[in-house]
C-alpha cells in the first residue's frame, strides 16, 4: 500500500572522532506528502529521550531558506512542514535527497539527518513542441534518417519515459539510439520513397509513455511536406562536435563552429544553421549564427546547475539535414566559500578545559573538484583551533588555557580558503566573551601593616584600614574582611579589635591599657589571603606614681627618728615610688610640699632621700610632719603625696606620748560619729516596730470579743471539774481540770494556790427557746493581791 510501502528506513552511524558530532539518520519519504505527514521518530532512532530534546532546545538547521521537515519536540518525531516537489528540488538528479542538522545544546550535540525523496508518477512526458514540420525531398532514398526532439519527463526511474511509438508506419519507422550519457536520440527512418505527386503532405504521431502507475504519455504531431527534387544534402564535417567553455565566460564567447557543405548550386547549395529541438533553458544560453555556424554564449553559464549541454544544430539547404553539438562546461573557481554559524556559545567560563566546543561552523563552496575543497583555520595566535567533523562542518574548540583577567574577550577571525587557482577565501569574525570564575585570591596592597594607637582610647575608635583588591569581576571580586581567630593574653583577638567586613576599617573594641598589653598582632584573611597587622599601643600618662615606702595605712603611723646630734646631710628616710607607665611618663621627681621648717630638711629630686640641711637644735619641735609630693614627667603630669612623720629626739620614750596623741586624729572622730548615728537609727526603728505590733494585737483581740458576743453560733460547752449530769443519766465521766493562774511577774516570785471563788450567773438567751445558760465565773486569788487573774467558764 501507499504509506506502508514508503516506510522510513533509518541508518544511524556513530561518529567517535568528535563529541560534537554524535550520529546520522536517514529517512525516505515520497514526494507530494501533505503537511504534517510522519517522516520518522527521530528521538527513538537516535536514542534520545523527550526530556533531552526539550532541555537541549533541539532545533533543525537547514542549508537553504526552505525547510521541508519540522521537529515535534513534544513527540520526538519529524513531520512534513512544506510539501516537497522532487522535480523542483532535484530535477533529474537521482537519488534525490536533502540534508539538515539537528542540534542540541548543553552540551552541544550535532546530528546529520538525510531525507531521500522518492519520486511518484506525477508528471507526463512532454515534447518541446506540439507539432514538428519536416520538409523531405521526394527523391530522398530509403534509409534517410530524420532527427526528432525527444520528450521530457520530469519524473525519474520507472516513472520516466520508457518507450516511444510511431503511427502510422507506412513510409517511416522509428529508431531510438541510446547515448553514452544515457540520453536518447529519436529518429524516423524513411522506408519507402515518397512521391510528392501522390502525397504532398503526411502526418505522423509520435507517442512517448512512461512506466509509472497510472501510466502517463505525451504526443507530438509530425507534419511532413514533400519537396521537389534536391539532389545533394548538406554534409557536416563532423557528425558530433564537442567543445568546452568556462562557466565564467562572457557573453558572445565563441564555443565552436559547425561547418557543412552542399554540392548543389544555387539556392539548393546555400546552407543555413539553426538550433532545433532544445530545452527552454538551453535555447537562452547558446545561439548559432545562421550563416557562419558559429555557436556562441548567449546567457550565464553555471557549472553548479548544469555541467554539460547538448545542442542540435541543423544545417539546411532546404533539405533539413541536422548535426549534433555537445558542449561541456568547465568549472572555474568563481564561488567563494560561504561560512555559516550553525551554533555558537558567545560566552564560556575561563576554566573551560581544552577541547570545549565554542561554535559549529558550516562552510559550503558551490564549485566542484579542487575548487570546492575548503580548508578552515583560525587567524592569529589564539587559544582556539578548528577541527573537522562532518563534511562541510567544522568545530571551533578551545586549545589552551583561558584567563579572563588577561583577555576578557576574544575577537576570533577564522578563514575558509578553497584550493582553486587562484584560491578564494572568506572570513568571519565572532566575539567570544570569557566569563569569570573565582580563580584569583584577593591581594593586599601591603604585605605587612603597622599602626600606633594611644592607650585609653574610646571603644569603636578607628585604628586604620587595610585594602585588598581582587582581579576577578562581579560577585567574585567582592572582598570581605575578617579576623583570624587568634588569642592574646588568653582572650580571643576579636575582643580587642574588629574589622569592617566591607571597608576593611579596623576598630578598637575595648579601651587599651599599655601596662597590660604592649603590642597586639592580628590577621585579616578575606577568602584565601591574609595579612599580618601589628598594632602598637602607645603609652599615655594614665597612672599616678605609687608610693612603696613609707607605707601609708589608716590605723598606724610610720615615723622616723632623728637624733638631735645629727649632722648636716643626715639621712632621715627615703621615699620609694614607682610608676607603671613607661618612658618619660615613668620618670619621677620628689619635692617637699609641706614642711614645718624648710631650713631643716630637704628631699632628693631624683632619689627621694630626705636629709638634714643644717644642724638639729634643741629649739626644733619634736614632731615634724613632712609632706612629700612625687610627680611623673607625663603630660599632663600625675602625682602622689606621702606624709613622713619625723621625731626629733634622742630616745623613743621621749616621743611616745606625742605619737599616741597623734594617732587619734580626725579620722577616728569621724568614724565614732558615724557609728553613733547608726545605733540611734536602729533603736528608733525597733521602737516604732514594737509599738505598731502591740497596737495591732490589741485591736485584733477587741474585734474577736465583739464577734463572739454578737454571733448566734452555738457555744462549745466547757465542763468544769467534778461536773455531774443534772438529768441523772450518769453517762458523762468525771473531768478534772487544773488551771494555773499567774501574773506576768510571777517568774520572779513564789506562788501559792488560793481558794477559788466561784460565782454562778444564770441568764436566759432571748433568741433560744427554753435554753438555760449559766455563766460560771471563777477567780483565782493569788497571794499577790495586786495581780489578780480572772478566768471565766461558760457552760450550758
Q: Which of 130, 134, 182 is nearest to 161 (CA)?
A: 182
Question: Is 746 a residue whose pLDDT tops 80?
Answer: no
Q: Are 71 and 60 in contact (CB under 8 A)?
A: yes
Alpha carbon distance 481, 496 (integer Å): 16
Whole-number average pLDDT of the chain: 77
**pTM of the full structure:** 0.43
- 308: confidence class by pLDDT, cuts 50, 70, 90: confident
- 70: confidence class by pLDDT, cuts 50, 70, 90: very high
Tens-digit pLDDT profile for residues 714-745: 544 444 544 444 444 444 444 444 444 444 44
**In this structure, which CATH number among 2.60.40.60, 3.30.420.40, 3.40.50.300, 3.30.160.270 belongs to the domain 235-331?**
2.60.40.60
Position 203 scores a pLDDT of 93
- Asked: is 131-227 a CATH 2.60.40.60 domain? The reply is yes
Q: Are 247 and 329 in contact (CB under 8 A)?
A: yes
DSSP code per residue over 269-316: T--EEEEES--TTGGGTEEE-TTT-EEEE-S---TTT-SEEEEEEEEE
Tens-digit pLDDT profile for residues 603-654: 988 888 999 888 888 788 888 888 899 998 888 888 988 888 888 887 776 6
- Asked: is 338-431 a CATH 2.60.40.60 domain? The reply is yes
- Class of the 24-118 domain? mainly beta
**Comparing 360-364, 483-487, 719-723, which segment has the lowest mean pLDDT?**
719-723
Position 692 scores a pLDDT of 93
Tens-digit pLDDT profile for residues 94-118: 889 998 989 888 888 888 999 999 9
Question: Is 709 a residue whose pLDDT tops 90?
Answer: no
DSSP code per residue over 749-792: S------EEEEEEEEE-TTSTT-EEEEEEEEE--S-TT--EEEE
- 302: confidence class by pLDDT, cuts 50, 70, 90: confident
Domain spans in the chain, listed from the N-terminal domain onward: 24-118, 131-227, 235-331, 338-431, 443-538, 546-647
Tens-digit pLDDT profile for residues 205-218: 999 999 988 899 99
Tens-digit pLDDT profile for residues 500-511: 888 888 888 888
- 320: confidence class by pLDDT, cuts 50, 70, 90: low
Position 710 scores a pLDDT of 61
* 655: three-class secondary structure by DSSP: helix
Q: Are both 443-538 and 546-647 of the same fold? A: yes
Range from 159-173, 256-270, 430-444 that averages highest in pLDDT:
159-173
Question: Is 762 a residue whose pLDDT tops 80?
Answer: no
**Comparing 262-266, 695-699, 783-787, which segment has the lowest mean pLDDT?**
783-787
Calculate what percentage of the chain has a pLDDT beyond 90. Answer: 16
Residues 453-478 have a mean pLDDT of: 81
Alpha carbon distance 297, 300 (integer Å): 8
Instruction: Say what the alpha-carbon torsion angle 650, 655, 659, 661 is, to the nearest 10 degrees.
Output: -160
Question: Is 754 a residue whose pLDDT tops 70?
Answer: no
Position 785 scores a pLDDT of 42
Question: Is 555 a residue whose pLDDT tops 60?
Answer: no
Tens-digit pLDDT profile for residues 493-542: 888 888 888 888 888 888 877 767 654 444 333 344 666 666 667 777 77
Q: Are 119 and 216 in contact (CB under 8 A)?
A: no
| CA 741 to the chain's CA centroid | 101
DSSP-derived letter for residue 651 is S
Alpha carbon distance 419, 436 (integer Å): 41
Residues 260-285 have a mean pLDDT of: 75
Position 266 scores a pLDDT of 66
Tens-digit pLDDT profile for residues 381-406: 889 998 886 778 888 899 888 888 88
Tens-digit pLDDT profile for residues 542-552: 788 988 888 87
Question: Which of 676-704 are b and which e, b meaning 16 or more Cβ less than 10 Å from the residue's Cβ?
Answer: eeeeeeeeeeeeeeeeeeeeeeeeeeeee
> In the beta sheet, which residues pair with residue 72?
77
Position 336 scores a pLDDT of 86
**How many Cα atoms are found within 13 Å in the side-chain-facing hemisphere of 626?**
33
Which of the pair, 746 or 392, is modelled with greater confidence?
A: 392
- Asked: is 443-538 a CATH 2.60.40.60 domain? The reply is yes
Determine phi and psi for 485, rounding to 5 degrees: -75, 95
- Asked: is 546-647 a CATH 2.60.40.60 domain? The reply is yes
Question: Is 601 a residue whose pLDDT tops 80?
Answer: yes
Amino acid at each position: 500500500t501507499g504509506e506502508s510501502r514508503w516506510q522510513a528506513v533509518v541508518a544511524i552511524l556513530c561518529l567517535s572522532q568528535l563529541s560534537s558530532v554524535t550520529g546520522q539518520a536517514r529517512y525516505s519519504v515520497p514526494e507530494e506528502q501533505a503537511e504534517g505527514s510522519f517522516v520518522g521518530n527521530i528521538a527513538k532512532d537516535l536514542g534520545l529521550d523527550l526530556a533531552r530534546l526539550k532541555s537541549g532546545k533541539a532545533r533543525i538547521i537547514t542549508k537553504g531558506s526552505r525547510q521541508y521537515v519540522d521537529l515535534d519536540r513534544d513527540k520526538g518525531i519529524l513531520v512534513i512542514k512544506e510539501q516537497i516537489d522532487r522535480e523542483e528540488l532535484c530535477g533529474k538528479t537521482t537519488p534525490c535527497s536533502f540534508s539538515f542538522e539537528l542540534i542540541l545544546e548543553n552540551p552541544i550535540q550535532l546530528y546529520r539527518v538525510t531525507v531521500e525523496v522518492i519520486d511518484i508518477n506525477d508528471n507526463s512526458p512532454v515534447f518541446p513542441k506540439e507539432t514538428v514540420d519536416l520538409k523531405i525531398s521526394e527523391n530522398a532514398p530509403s534509409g534517410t534518417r530524420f532527427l526528432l526532439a525527444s520528450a521530457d519527463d520530469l519524473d525519474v526511474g520507472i516513472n520516466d519515459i520508457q518507450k516511444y511509438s510511431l503511427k502510422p508506419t507506412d513510409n517511416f519507422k522509428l529508431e531510438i539510439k541510446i547515448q553514452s550519457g544515457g540520453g536518447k536520440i529519436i529518429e524516423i527512418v524513411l522506408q519507402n520513397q515518397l512521391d510528392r505527386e501522390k502525397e504532398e503532405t503526411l502526418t505522423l504521431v509520435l507517442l512517448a509513455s512512461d512506466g509509472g502507475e497510472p501510466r502517463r504519455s505525451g504526443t507530438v504531431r509530425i507534419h511532413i511536406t514533400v519537396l521537389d527534387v534536391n539532389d545533394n544534402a548538406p554534409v557536416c564535417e563532423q557528425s558530433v562536435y564537442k567543445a568546452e567553455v568556462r562557466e565564467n565566460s562572457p557573453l558572445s564567447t565563441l564555443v565552436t563552429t559547425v561547418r557543412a557543405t552542399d554540392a548543389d548550386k544555387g539556392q539548393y547549395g546555400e546552407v543555413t544553421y539553426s538550433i532545433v529541438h532544445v530545452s527552454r533553458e538551453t535555447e537562452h544560453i547558446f545561439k548559432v549564427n545562421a550563416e557562419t555556424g558559429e555557436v556562441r554564449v548567449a546567457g550565464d553559464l553555471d557549472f553548479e546547475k548544469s555541467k554539460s549541454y547538448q545542442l542540435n544544430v541543423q544545417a539546411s539547404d532546404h533539405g533539413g539535414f541536422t548535426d549534433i553539438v555537445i558542449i561541456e562546461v568547465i568549472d572555474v573557481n568563481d564561488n567563494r566559500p560561504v561560512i555559516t554559524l550553525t551554533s555558537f556559545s558567545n560566552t564560556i567560563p575561563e576554566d573551560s578545559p581544552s577541547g570545549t566546543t565554542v561554535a559549529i561552523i558550516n562552510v559550503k563552496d558551490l564549485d566542484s573538484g579542487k575548487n570546492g575543497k575548503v580548508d578552515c583555520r583560525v587567524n592569529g595566535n589564539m587559544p582556539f583551533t578548528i577541527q573537522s567533523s562532518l563534511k562541510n562542518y567544522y568545530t571551533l574548540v578551545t586549545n589552551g588555557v583561558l584567563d579572563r583577567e588577561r583577555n576578557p574577550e576574544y575577537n576570533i577571525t577564522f578563514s575558509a580558503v578553497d584550493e582553486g587557482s587562484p584560491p578564494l577565501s572568506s572570513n568571519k569574525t565572532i566575539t567570544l566573551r570569557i566569563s569569570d570564575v573565582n580563580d584569583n585570591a584577593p591581594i593586599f596592597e601591603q604585605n605587612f601593616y603597622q599602626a600606633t594607637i594611644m592607650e585609653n582610647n574610646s571603644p569603636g575608635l578607628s585604628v586604620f584600614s587595610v585594602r585588598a583588591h581582587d582581579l576577578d569581576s562581579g560577585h567574585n571580586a567582592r572582598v570581605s574582611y575578617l579576623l583570624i581567630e587568634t588569642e592574646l593574653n588568653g582572650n580571643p583577638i576579636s575582643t580587642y579589635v574588629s574589622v569592617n567586613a566591607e571597608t576593611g576599617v579596623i576598630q578598637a573594641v575595648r579601651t587599651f591599657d599599655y601596662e597590660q598589653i604592649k603590642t597586639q598582632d592580628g590577621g585579616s584573611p578575606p577568602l584565601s589571603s591574609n595579612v599580618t597587622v601589628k598594632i602598637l599601643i602607645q603609652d599615655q600618662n594614665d597612672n599616678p606614681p605609687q608610693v612603696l615606702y613609707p607605707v601609708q595605712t589608716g590605723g598606724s603611723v610610720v615615723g622616723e627618728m632623728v637624733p638631735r646630734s645629727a649632722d648636716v646631710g643626715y639621712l632621715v628616710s627615703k621615699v620609694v615610688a614607682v610608676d607603671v607607665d613607661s618612658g618619660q611618663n615613668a620618670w619621677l621627681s620628689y619635692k617637699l610640699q609641706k614642711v614645718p621648717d624648710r631650713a631643716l630638711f630637704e628631699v632628693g629630686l631624683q632619689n627621694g632621700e630626705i636629709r638634714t640641711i643644717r644642724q638639729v637644735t634643741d629649739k626644733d619641735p619634736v614632731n615634724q610632719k613632712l609632706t612629700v609630693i612625687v610627680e611623673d614627667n607625663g603630660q599632663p603630669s600625675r602625682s602622689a603625696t606621702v606624709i613622713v612623720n619625723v621625731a626629733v629626739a634622742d630616745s623613743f620614750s621621749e616621743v611616745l606620748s606625742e605619737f599616741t596623741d597623734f594617732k587619734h586624729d580626725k579620722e577616728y572622730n569621724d568614724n565614732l560619729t558615724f557609728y553613733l548615728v547608726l545605733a540611734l537609727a536602729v533603736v528608733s526603728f525597733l521602737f516604732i516596730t514594737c509599738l505598731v505590733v502591740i497596737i495591732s494585737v490589741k485591736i485584733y483581740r477587741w474585734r474577736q470579743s465583739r464577734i463572739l458576743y454578737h454571733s448566734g453560733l452555738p457555744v462549745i460547752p466547757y465542763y468544769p471539774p467534778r461536773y455531774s449530769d443534772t438529768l441523772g443519766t450518769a453517762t458523762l465521766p468525771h473531768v478534772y481540770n487544773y488551771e494555773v493562774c499567774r501574773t506576768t511577774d510571777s517568774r520572779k516570785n513564789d506562788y501559792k494556790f488560793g481558794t477559788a471563788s466561784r460565782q454562778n450567773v444564770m441568764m436566759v438567751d432571748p433568741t433560744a427557746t427554753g435554753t438555760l445558760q449559766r455563766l460560771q465565773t471563777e477567780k483565782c486569788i493569788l497571794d499577790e493581791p495586786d495581780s489578780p487573774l480572772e478566768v471565766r467558764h461558760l457552760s450550758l
